[in-house]
């Protein structure tokens, strides 16, 4: 492949990774920001999103468009409610003690994963995309001093992949306006800044915690619903998103939403470009190495506020 089209393909694949990663990681960042809880079970909420999406599309039967739309609306809510339930029944009982929440969410991780294995089974099951057309992309070539448009071999994207990138942008904009423009966002930001003071002002912190935890998990589930027509729903699929989300959240600054989104772009694009030009393994090595450097030289993250 020529360099130009090759780079363009790398950027588009990277943008897809970045879009899904930004959704997943912003959920993790939100939970950490508001609650100071390191949610190790975040990847399993992602996996649940994919598995439930398969289940909902099966129930809907027939039309993939209808099934997908239904999954898109119902699944994040279901997963969010489950997460809120986990918050109220487990995390609240251990007083959000940092060490114990880590252990408790590790436990939740295994419970969710194994229950999925016992019910849904070990198979990878596909969800049909609502639409999926291959779009060949043109490239400009200079020959004999004149510009010429041509369709290079292999340079393409599918309409569904473009939709995922677009949908992720819309959802992130929605999350941003929720945090900055609504009363709920205000309450969450107040809780994030100072829990004691928020309590003193009569903010129902406990309820805000449950909502934030549910919202964070719902974001992961939404990302999974979007990606599952490209990949397949499988009970072990939560591992990679968890690792990458942690990488992104640490680079972006713990608890910082804009930081998480920018870091997701950075990691997603570099993953796409490095894996295409060198090797996918090198891309993972690079990302982890980058985290190590950030932790050593800028522990609060690239865009972190430096709060504890």
Residues that bind other proteins (CB under 8 A): 1, 6, 9-10, 13, 17, 117, 121-124, 126, 128-129, 132, 134, 136, 153-154, 156, 158, 230-232, 234, 236-237, 240, 272, 275-276, 280-281
103 Ramachandran zone, left/alpha/beta (phi>0; psi -120 to 50): alpha
Indicate the residue among 35 and 267 with the shorter CB distance to other proteins.
267
Task: Let me know: does 52 contact 71? Beta carbons within 8 Å.
Answer: yes
Indicate the residue among 96 and 286 with the shorter CB distance to other proteins.
286
Indicate the residue among 130 and 253 with the shorter CB distance to other proteins.
130
| Phi, psi dihedral angles at 129 (to 5 degrees) | -70, 145
Shortest reach from residue 299's CB to other proteins, in Å: 31
Shortest reach from residue 171's CB to other proteins, in Å: 20
Shortest reach from residue 128's CB to other proteins, in Å: 5
Indicate the residue among 253 and 268 with the shorter CB distance to other proteins.
268
Indicate the residue among 26 and 116 with the shorter CB distance to other proteins.
116
Measured CA angle at 247 (ends 259, 73), to 5 deg? 70
Residue 53 DSSP SS3? helix
Sign of CA dihedral 200, 202, 205, 208: negative
Shortest reach from residue 130's CB to other proteins, in Å: 11
Strands 146-150 and 134-136: unpaired
The helix (H) or strand (E) run that includes residue 148 is strand 146-150
Q: Cα separation of 115 and 122, whole Å?
A: 11
Rg (CA), the chain: 20
Shortest reach from residue 1's CB to other proteins, in Å: 5
Indicate the residue among 38 and 283 with the shorter CB distance to other proteins.
283
Shortest reach from residue 133's CB to other proteins, in Å: 10
Shortest reach from residue 70's CB to other proteins, in Å: 18
DSSP-derived secondary structure letter, 93: G
- End-to-end CA gap in the chain: 48
Q: Which of 133, 127, 142, 90 is nearest to 112 (CA)?
A: 90
Indicate the residue among 42 and 234 with the shorter CB distance to other proteins.
234
What's the Cα-to-Cα distance from 44 to each of 37, 80, 83, rounded to whole Å? Answer: 16, 12, 11
């Amino acid at each position: 492949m020529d360099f130009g089209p090759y780079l363009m393909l790398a950027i588009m694949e990277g943008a897809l990774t970045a879009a899904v990663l930004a959704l997943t990681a912003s959920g993790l960042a939100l939970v950490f920001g508001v609650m100071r809880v390191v949610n190790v079970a975040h990847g399993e909420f992602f996996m649940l999103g994919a598995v439930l999406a398969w289940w909902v599309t099966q129930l809907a039967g027939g039309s993939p468009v209808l099934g997908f739309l239904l999954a898109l609306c119902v699944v994040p809510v279901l997963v969010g409610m489950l997460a809120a339930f986990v918050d109220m029944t487990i995390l609240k009982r251990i007083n959000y003690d940092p060490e114990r929440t880590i252990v408790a969410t590790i436990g939740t991780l295994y419970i969710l994963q194994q229950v999925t294995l016992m019910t849904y089974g070990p198979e990878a099951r596909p969800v049909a995309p609502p639409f999926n057309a291959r779009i060949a992309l043109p490239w400009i070539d200079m020959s004999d001093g004149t510009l010429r448009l041509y369709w290079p071999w292999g340079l393409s994207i599918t309409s569904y992949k473009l939709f995922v990138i677009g949908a992720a942008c819309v959802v992130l904009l929605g999350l941003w306006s929720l945090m900055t423009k609504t009363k709920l966002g205000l309450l969450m930001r107040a809780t994030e800044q100072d829990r004691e003071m928020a309590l003193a002002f009569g903010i129902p912190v406990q309820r805000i915690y449950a909502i934030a935890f549910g919202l964070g998990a719902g974001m992961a589930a939404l990302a999974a619903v979007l990606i599952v027509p490209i990949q397949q729903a499988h009970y072990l699929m939560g591992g990679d998103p968890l690792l990458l989300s942690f990488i992104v959240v640490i680079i972006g600054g713990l608890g910082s939403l804009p930081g998480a989104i920018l870091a997701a772009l950075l990691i997603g694009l570099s993953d796409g470009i490095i894996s295409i030009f060198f090797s996918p393994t090198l891309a993972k090595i690079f990302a982890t190495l980058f985290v190590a450097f950030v932790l050593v030289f800028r522990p609060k993250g690239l865009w972190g506020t430096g709060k504890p």
